[in-house]
Amino acid sequence: MKVAMIGGTGDMGYGLALRLLRAGHEIFLGSRRLERAKDAEAEAKYLVPEGKIIGMDNAAAVAAGELAVIAVPASGHRETLLELREGLREKAVLDITIPLAFKPLRYAPPAEGSNALETAAILGEGCRVAAGLHTVSAALLRDLERPLDVDALLVGNDAGTKEQVIELLAGTGIRGYDAGSLMFSPVVESLTPMLIGMNKRYGSNHIGIRLTGF
Ligand SMILES: NC(=O)c1ccc[n+]([C@@H]2O[C@H](COP(=O)([O-])OP(=O)(O)OC[C@H]3O[C@@H](n4cnc5c(N)ncnc54)[C@H](OP(=O)(O)O)[C@@H]3O)[C@@H](O)[C@H]2O)c1
């Protein structure tokens, strides 16, 4: 699949890009600065020599991908969506962002109720938005020596997009599950501050979730 990674130079976007490259997907790695995207492209080609990746500015990456992953910090979420709105309306979108606030660490959603709901509100009628990977650690993604064996709850406003994401992740070791509509996005987004606290208590940096009972 052709994947646009918006915020692809960051911990999460870059780590996910490496895992998707290894699974045979094509990555258009986006940045606000072309030079940073090209640096990340060069490093990714060294780490995954067989991978197909091109560093671009964020808007060009959106245009090139079939599916766009939003991987920017919460502080830039709204602004990024507004800037890329026209291109993103045409695409399947996977929003992996979490509205975190610090000191104290907490879930601090925007007025729409969650980052994913904000995305859907900005992109408007007919948009295809899924949200997920909130419980998958960037540190784990970037450690290519470590096999992935985690589950991911996916919510969204379009069943086809959720299926597309499940298929995308399948080759990486992340098992995606359809957890329902965007109504549940505050639930899945707000698991992260809890996991960050658990990581501290248990001395880890990659505690995730596994589902049972299927
Ligand atoms: N870290 C984790 O384990 C984890 C797990 C699950 C989900 N998440 C979520 O994934 C998202 C990305 O996390 P991260 O740790 O990768 O973030 P990050 O490294 O801080 O930022 C990702 C990239 O976004 C771009 N960026 C920074 N500020 C921006 C702004 N104001 N507007 C637009 N773009 C901006 C930067 O790229 P350029 O400067 O190159 O444009 C940066 O490299 C966050 O919402 C986070 O909550 C993180």
Q: 100 CA to middle of ligand 1, Å?
A: 12
Write a three-state SS string for 96-133. CCCCEECCCCEECCCCCCCHHHHHHHHHCCCCEEEECC
- Tell which one of 5, 6, 12 to mutate to probe ligand 1, the residue whose CB is within 8 A of the most ligand atoms: 12
Domains of the chain: 2-202 (3.40.50.720)
- Tell which one of 57, 69, 72 to mutate to probe ligand 1, the residue whose CB is within 8 A of the most ligand atoms: 72
Which residues, 6 or more positions from 110, have their beta carbon under 8 angstroms from its beta carbon? 77, 78, 99, 117, 118
Whose alpha carbon is nearest atom 18 of ligand 1? 10
Residue-level pLDDT at 172: 97
**Residues whose beta carbon lies within 6 Å of some atom of ligand 1:** 7, 9-13, 31-33, 36, 71-76, 79-80, 96-98, 100, 133-134, 136-138
Q: Are 99 and 107 in contact (CB under 8 A)?
A: yes
- Rounded to two decimals, what is the model's pTM? 0.98
Whose alpha carbon is nearest atom 48 of ligand 1? 12
Alpha carbon of residue 26 to chain centroid: 15
Please report, in tens digits, the pLDDT of each residue of the chain (214 residues total): 999 999 999 999 999 999 999 999 999 999 999 999 999 999 999 999 999 999 999 999 999 999 999 999 999 999 999 999 999 999 999 999 999 999 999 999 999 999 999 999 999 999 999 999 999 999 999 999 999 999 999 999 999 999 999 999 999 999 999 999 999 999 999 999 999 999 999 999 999 999 999 9
